[in-house]
Copies of this chain bind each other. A is one copy, B any other.
Amino acid sequence: MANLRGGDLSRLRQLNSLSAIRALRGAGPLTLSALAERTGLSRPSTKEVVDELAQVGWVEEVPPSPGTMGRPARRYRFRANCGYLVGIDIGAHNVRAALADLDGQVLAETRQPALPGAPLDDRLAAIERAVSGCLTLSGKTVADLWTVAVGTTGIVTPDGRVAYSASVPSWTGLDLAGRLREMFPCEVLVENDSRLAALAESRRGVARGSRDVVFLHVARRMGAALIIDGRLHRGFGTAAGEIGMLPEMRWLQATDHLNGCAIVPEETAPEDAAGYTLAAARSGDPVALDAVGRYLDDLAVGAAAMALLLDPEVVVLGGGFSRAADVLLEPLRERLERSCMRMPEVLASTLGEECVVLGAIDYAVDHLDRQHFTADAGPVPPQAAVTSR
């Protein structure tokens, strides 16, 4: 037996607790043997970790089924319902929210339209209503919430301010985390919306299991986000992903090809024009298809720059326009094939409009893990997440 003391032991314990929580989360009840196999820990270590997690409240023993004969093996599960998380997506045109348990399973969702030029307080009020709606739908109260994680359009500073937003002008300079903390008596996290969408795709979407992912957020405004070596890449000053700001990338005006297509009827609202063109292209309209081609010529410049620089395993096409993936995906692939040294997989998001709220929930789950299972002390009781704020 090695001489293990203090710091060494707690370091190992934390690693083991995190392995156990990750194996139990979303897996249903597991026996000690099954858990030992999934974590790679010895059975005695597994027992010890589970006992400690049960003692502080993260894990509980599941009663054996009534009809079981003989002495059944004890089974344990993660207490996913000892707290709740809310994910919010603040876009220029919609505010979405979803409430999930600590497994990340969604229990309720809401959506409200918003206008890009709406006053700041109207948008903040819409956020409050979106969360209230989720609480009502799921029969929870604000006291059940541990974390509210928000994805917003714009560049977010490390302390949760919006440094710049082109699509929601009133948002620029806002202390969004501060305003949300006044609203919700729990942990508040703020991150860029494209980044959260990328996280969701790499955790539960088409890029699940890929270590290096480029996420193209194709919508009225274009964004990009990176998963590198399995982790969300934020950059030194949390300003990563803004390649579209460079005029030579040809993203700033790319959507004009769709908006300005000759077939769009004059009475169409400006925010619906691109969608009209994409729909016409899906029906085979040659003028619309031509406009989509020119749009993709521009989109492909920035996409090729990212693919050549990072050599990702997968490029995911997500955001509002990805509903038209059937007319976008193959032509984008062709354009990338002309530029790339090694061609990545090019896949359309399957999470669709939900990707940012789901990413916000995944981000909140990651944050809980960091907070409770990687500190220097032993595992913190779940209640500490609420009481320590």
Contacts and interface: CB of A to CB of B under 8 A. Distances in A.
Contact of A311 (B231, B235, B301, B305): B235
Interface stretch (A92-100, A242-250, A254-262): A242-250
A261 to B, nearest CB: 24
A193 interface: no
A310 B235 contact: yes
A239 B311 contact: yes
Interface in A217-267: 224, 226, 228-229, 231, 233-246, 248-250
Contacts of A155: 341
A4 interface: yes
A45 B246 contact: no
A3 B155 CA distance: 48
B226 A229 contact: no
Contacts of A311: 234-242
Contacts of A312: 235-236
Contacts of A41: 7-8
Interface stretch (A9-17, A65-73, A135-143, A367-375): A9-17
A311 B232 CA distance: 13
A63 interface: no
Give the number of times this chain occurs in the complex, counting copies.
Answer: 2
Given A235-B312, A311-B235, A48 B246 contact: no
Contact of A248 (B212, B241, B248): B248
A11 B301 CA distance: 45
Nearest to A311: B235
Contact of A242 (B164, B308, B344): B308
A387 to B, nearest CB: 27
A247 to B, nearest CB: 9
B45 A301 contact: no
A389 interface: no
A237 B341 CA distance: 10
Contact of A309 (B13, B16, B210, B243): B243
A269 interface: no
Nearest to A343: B237
A2 interface: yes
B242 A341 contact: yes
B2 A8 contact: no
Interface in A9-63: 9, 11-13, 16, 40-42, 44-45, 47-48
A98 B155 CA distance: 45
Given A3-B45, A239-B342, 4 more contacts: A240-B311, A241-B309, A242-B341, A246-B304
